[in-house]
Structure 1
Amino acid sequence: MKTSRVLAVLVAALAASAPAADAQEITVMTRNVFLGADLNPAIGAPGIAEAINGAGTVWNELQATQFPERAVPLAAEIKASKADLVGLQEVALWHVQQPSDGGAPPISPVAGATAATTVAFDFLALLQAQLGSSYKVVVVQEEFQAELPVNADGNVATGTGPLASLGADLDARLTMRDVILVRRGSKVKLGKTRGGHFKTRYEPNVGGLEIPVDRGWVSVEARLGQRKFRFVNTHLEAFGDTKIREAQAKELLTGPLKTKTQVVLVGDLNSGIKRHNQPEKPGDDLAFKALKGFKDNGARQSCCFSSLTDPRAAFDHTVDHVLTKPGLKTVRARVTGNDPAARTPSGLWPSDHGGVISRLRLRG
């Protein structure tokens, strides 16, 4: 046999026996789906009367941002990504009660007020309906919950219940959730799930009533062949002092990120080290920098549209991340959610954030 033929046979044999690159590669995605409204008019209000009016602003924005419609392109993004694991943030659950009975603890000033129980919008159920059988829920973590009376029509003369004089038309309750999804048919095998809340949290005061804004994380133990890893999804604080989310990042390091297993961390950190066409705001990078030893495997500039209806809106900074430790090789990474063709029939962007998709090569 000629030498050239021998070499060819040896190369072919070695190629056949060597593991394929994709046998050790996973695709992950982080996606903030946007809870539907800016909460600041309510939780940033100086008193109860202003908070009820602010809640009306929030409620009306929620209606205008139409999550049932936005769920369609969001689900299409997730399915097209073929991500093995997806971390979702701001997967809101909105309950309503009408007529108002004064809200519910911890914000309500009315003794005996009860929590709203009628579902108005369940973002997870709406998204699952669009995903069909392509993805299933691994774990759901409930975060911030609060209920306020809502002056939906801006008219104090049409109020109901014990706070009718302040224009309360109904009560609306928000439950924030972080979720992990897995693609059906993925070769990634899943094990134990965990979740927790940060001890450090933002606690605004509305009319003398303290609002505990819980944030946290969820995780799942995973394996691809013999390669084990931990997948963690988180959403750090967006409001208040930037040192709050820095402290939350440090809690991650002593909590779910403290492991000898390789870790893939995804989520909205509300923090980054690079901005585009604008200066860095003081403290914006603290949480990101606190995650020492982690490699950034994500594409940059995935945030944030100030309006879902602005066709010229563009992402200009980085808060959504895919991070790994020990640092994994990024095969490829991209941002979704900024394609004008993906806007809904009524002209809405899928979210105020983009999604970040990264294909990673595991170690071992």
Structure 2
Amino acid sequence: MNSRSKHNVSFLTWNLYLGADLTPIITATPAQIPQRVTEVFRQFLATNFPVRAKAIARAIALEKPDLIGLQEAELWQLIIPTFGIVTYDFIELLLKELEEMGLNYEVAAQNRNLSVELPDSNGNLVRFLDRDVILIRKEKNLKVIRRQEANFQTNLILPVGGQPVTILRGWSSVDVKIDGQVFRMINTHLDPTVEAIRNAQANEILQGPANTRLPVVITGDLNSIPNSTTYNLFINAGFHDLWSKVGKGPGFTCCQAPDLLNAVSMLNQRIDYILFKNGWEPIEAELVGESQKDRTETGLWPSDHAGVSARLNLEDHHDHHHDESSDQIAVNN
């Protein structure tokens, strides 16, 4: 085999943490909503994403991954009628911090999920949009030739202020060409609360974008521990868990305290994954954002999750062109 027939590709997955626990809003009566919205927004301000974005960018800069799957890459807006709109765009803030470190990433695909707008107790509106996004490094010899973005058919429905709200989630994928080779990356964030819904969402991915003969990598917060039902759906479909192949130690990725100020790390379960199938050879995997030195100057953990960073070799496959065309027909959303 000549050296051109192996391609080293690096990936990183990270749940950025939306910045607040939304439970008080979900459990509120209609009359309590404004006060609860104010309290939740205060917690969001306290977990200071602009400051965390610097710490997250620092951790990413040590790895310089080719592709990044982010979950909870949120858009928060405070709409003050007498003043204007204050926007916290996690993607924009992080891209800017990375750029200041000399790293140029761009959005390759994103799925827009739950969107809500609620009044606070100060006469303002708070708007929130949940997103998951795939970033790709511009300097690298990587070309996106196909993009898919979709929401799940099956989602959790919760009463918020007496109204049913669909906690919309989804996935996105990119087909990436590197020196004539094509692979697919899928990024997702599965439902944390109801196993049946989580399994349905996993199956939508397995029957959709993951149903391909292309080399494929899934990054995401699957909200399920190793050997759980959801996890086993992926394994039984032929996916390999990269951490279990080349990771060292338990690889816990979840979860720090909601205010991100717990003294000692509270990570005690592994729910964030890089999974692979069809012609990859795993090289290494490690956690990011999990150690005391990763915290912000103000003591915040970069996120309530650790991220997972990995490198894989893409083996040479000669029948990709055939696969690619059959995929174009087989997968549509």
In the alignment, which residue of structure 1 is the partner of 2:271?
319
Taking the aligned partners of 2:184 and 2:16, their CA distance within structure 1 comes to 23
Map 1:1-364; keep pairs closer than 5 Å: 18-19=2-3, 23-45=6-28, 47-99=29-81, 118-132=85-99, 133-151=103-121, 169-239=123-193, 241-273=194-226, 285-291=228-234, 292=236, 293-298=238-243, 299=247, 300-306=251-257, 307-326=259-278, 328-364=280-316
Matched to 2:74, the amino acid is A
Matched to 2:123, the amino acid is D
Q: What whole-Å deviation, never above 9, does each CA across 1:85-116 have from its counterpart, x for those lacking one?
A: 0001111111122359xxxxxxxxxxxxxxx9
Change (3 A) 1:295 1:227: same
Gaps of 5+ in 1: 1-16, 101-115, 152-167, 275-284
Change (3 A) 1:120 1:185: closer
Q: What whole-Å deviation, never above 9, does each CA across 1:183-213 have from its counterpart, x for those lacking one?
A: 1222232211111000100110134311011
Taking the aligned partners of 1:117 and 1:31, their CA distance within structure 2 comes to 32
Q: What whole-Å deviation, never above 9, does each CA across 1:49-90 have from its counterpart, x for those lacking one?
A: 233332222111101000000000111122221211000111
In the alignment, which residue of structure 2 is the partner of 1:280?
none
Matched to 2:144, the amino acid is L
Q: Do the aligned residues in 1 keep the contact of 2:79 with 2:86 (CA within 8 Å)?
A: no
1:225 CA drift (Å): 2.1
1:317 CA drift (Å): 0.5
Taking the aligned partners of 2:307 and 2:76, their CA distance within structure 1 comes to 23
TM-score (norm 1): 0.79
Q: Do the aligned residues in 2 keep the contact of 1:42 with 1:53 (CA within 8 Å)?
A: no
1:337 CA drift (Å): 0.7
Q: What whole-Å deviation, never above 9, does each CA across 1:287-318 have from its counterpart, x for those lacking one?
A: 21221211001342111112411121231111
- Please state whether the residue corresponding to 1:244 is helix, strand or coil: helix
- Please state whether the residue corresponding to 1:237 is helix, strand or coil: coil
Q: What whole-Å deviation, never above 9, does each CA across 1:8-67 have from its counterpart, x for those lacking one?
A: xxxxxxxxx73168x42211010111111111111233x212333322221111010000
Taking the aligned partners of 2:278 and 2:27, their CA distance within structure 1 comes to 40
Q: Do the aligned residues in 2 keep the contact of 1:143 with 1:215 (CA within 8 Å)?
A: yes
TM-score (norm 2): 0.86
Gaps of 5+ in 2: 317-333
Taking the aligned partners of 1:268 and 1:55, their CA distance within structure 2 comes to 26
Matched to 2:21, the amino acid is D
Taking the aligned partners of 1:252 and 1:34, their CA distance within structure 2 comes to 23
Q: What whole-Å deviation, never above 9, does each CA across 1:243-291 have from its counterpart, x for those lacking one?
A: 11111001111111111211100011111226xxxxxxxxxx2221221
1:223 CA drift (Å): 2.1
Taking the aligned partners of 1:25 and 1:148, their CA distance within structure 2 comes to 46
Q: Do the aligned residues in 2 keep the contact of 1:295 with 1:328 (CA within 8 Å)?
A: no
In the alignment, which residue of structure 1 is the partner of 2:323?
none
Q: Do the aligned residues in 1 keep the contact of 2:110 with 2:172 (CA within 8 Å)?
A: yes
Q: What whole-Å deviation, never above 9, does each CA across 1:311-334 have from its counterpart, x for those lacking one?
A: 212311111100011363210000
Q: Do the aligned residues in 2 keep the contact of 1:88 with 1:267 (CA within 8 Å)?
A: yes
Q: Do the aligned residues in 2 keep the contact of 1:295 with 1:327 (CA within 8 Å)?
A: no
Matched to 2:47, the amino acid is T
Matched to 2:143, the amino acid is K
In the alignment of these two chains, the number of paired residues is 304
Taking the aligned partners of 2:112 and 2:161, their CA distance within structure 1 comes to 25
Q: Do the aligned residues in 2 keep the contact of 1:227 with 1:363 (CA within 8 Å)?
A: no
Quote the sequence identity (%): 36
1:117 CA drift (Å): 7.7
Structure in which a larger fraction of residues adopt strand: 2
- Give the aligned CA root-mean-square deviation in angstroms: 2.0
Change (3 A) 1:35 1:264: same
Q: Do the aligned residues in 2 keep the contact of 1:25 with 1:361 (CA within 8 Å)?
A: yes
Q: Do the aligned residues in 1 keep the contact of 2:111 with 2:151 (CA within 8 Å)?
A: no
